[in-house]
Every structure is written in structure tokens, then in C-alpha cells.
Chains A and B, each alone.
Chain A
Amino acid sequence: QTVVTQEPSLTVSPGGTVTLTCASSTGPVTSGYYPNWFQQKPGQAPRALIYDTDNKHSWTPVRFSGSLLGGKAALTLSGVLPEDEADYYCLLYYADTRTRVFGGGTELTVL
């Protein structure tokens, strides 16, 4: 069974920079996994932030960026704001099964 792993929790100071990562049990994450990133705040539906590794939606704040880093997908927040405190999930595509798998999520605390 494929497992996608994220840091369970991270803490960052306001104005700081933090990188969240997303690893696959099948091996290095590449652009062929079409990584997506989502933000979810308590009591709300998730919101899409990044698609296909590093593409932003029209509503995605500039301080969010996606990339590949050391065999993982990565989401970097620069100039973190208190409102960025949320859960973040990555989603990877597996071409062999034509399915997608979410990571377990990262709880980001801004403190």
C-alpha cells in the first residue's frame, strides 16, 4: 500500500519561512506525480494552493510556492502570516494505478 508522508507538525514565527515536504513510499517524487497542495482551516473545506508541482491558482498568495526538493515535493511559505496557521495536505498522482493519494497532513502553527 502506497504511503505519502508529511511532517505531522511544524512551528514557524510570524514573518519567517517554513518548508513542508511530501514523500512517497514508492521512491523519489518527480513532476510525474503532479503534486498538489491544499490548505484546510478548522471547520472549513480544503482550498487548493498549488498544482502540478509549482503552479499557483489565481487566488494563491504570492508567499506560497511549490517545488521539488531532495526527492520530495515541497511547499514553502515565505513571510508567514498568523492567518497561515492551518493544516496542509499534499496529493500525489500514481500513473500505474491511475489513483491519487493524500499525505497525512502537516499542522502548521504560527507562534
Chain B
Amino acid sequence: EVQLVESGGGLVKPGGSLKLSCAASGFAFSDAWMTWVRQAPGKGLEWVGRIKTTRDGGTTDYAAFVKGRFSISRDDSKNMLYLQMNSLKTEDTAVYFCGEGGGLNHWGHGTLVSVSS
């Protein structure tokens, strides 16, 4: 059974940083592109970015609103996906989901990030 478990969310001040983690199990993590998506309270889904497999170069692509503030990485030896978020803004407040595949075949339950002074 595919399982994705996000962690690392919490309350952070504007301008601060936070690193989210996503623990993956139940599938060949090293063979999977992985994606981050967020959802602000009461709002729709927003694609954040994606990382390809290491074999495909580990290339990352991001939504325009990220503007160099966020960085996705992976550790295939630990089946872990990460989202480093810097220069956080109040509008980054959201539940952050990790997903398996570019097409998000499976989703985690999400972790809440609150950016507030």
C-alpha cells in the first residue's frame, strides 16, 4: 500500500524558513517523480513544484509564485522528499501535500504551514 506522510509544518514568522518532509513507502520511491501541492484555507489546490527521479537527472520545476524561494530535494536512500521554504510570506499559509508521480497518483494527508507574525 502506498503511503505518503508529510511532516515539518508549523507556525513561522514572515521572512522565516521551514523545511517539510515527506516519508514514502509502498512503492519504488527512486523510480517516482514526486510533487508538492498546497491548499490555502478554504481555497483550491495549487501546484508548487516537482522533482524527477535521480536517474532522470533529479530536475526540478516550480510554479512561478515560488520565485526562487522554495527548493525541492530527495533522498532515495531514505525514501524521503523535502521542500525547503525560505522568505516565507503570509500568503504561503496552507496545507502542503506531497504526491507520487507528476500526475499525483497518490497523496499524503498534508501538513499545515502557518505564516504569521
Contacts and interface: CB of A to CB of B under 8 A. Distances in A.
Nearest to A57: B105
A100 interface: yes
B75 interface: no
B78 interface: no
A100 B107 contact: no
Interface string B99-116: 000111111111000000
A32 interface: no
Interface residues of B, number: 22
B97 A46 contact: yes
Given A1-B64, A91-B47, A45 B110 contact: yes
Secondary structure class of chain A's binding surface, majority of residues: strand
Interface string B62-95: 1110000000000000000000000000000000
Interface stretch (A17-25, A78-86, A101-109): A101-109
A93 interface: yes
A46 B108 CA distance: 9
Contacts of A48: 103-107
Contacts of B109: 45
Given A48-B105, A93-B102, A99 B110 contact: no
A52 B102 CA distance: 11
A64 interface: no
B86 to A, nearest CB: 20
Contact of B103 (A51, A97, A102, A105): A51
A91 B104 CA distance: 10
A91 B45 CA distance: 9
Interface of B: 35, 37, 44-47, 49-50, 61-64, 97, 102-110
5 contacts: A45-B97, A46-B104, A51-B103, A105-B44, A105-B45
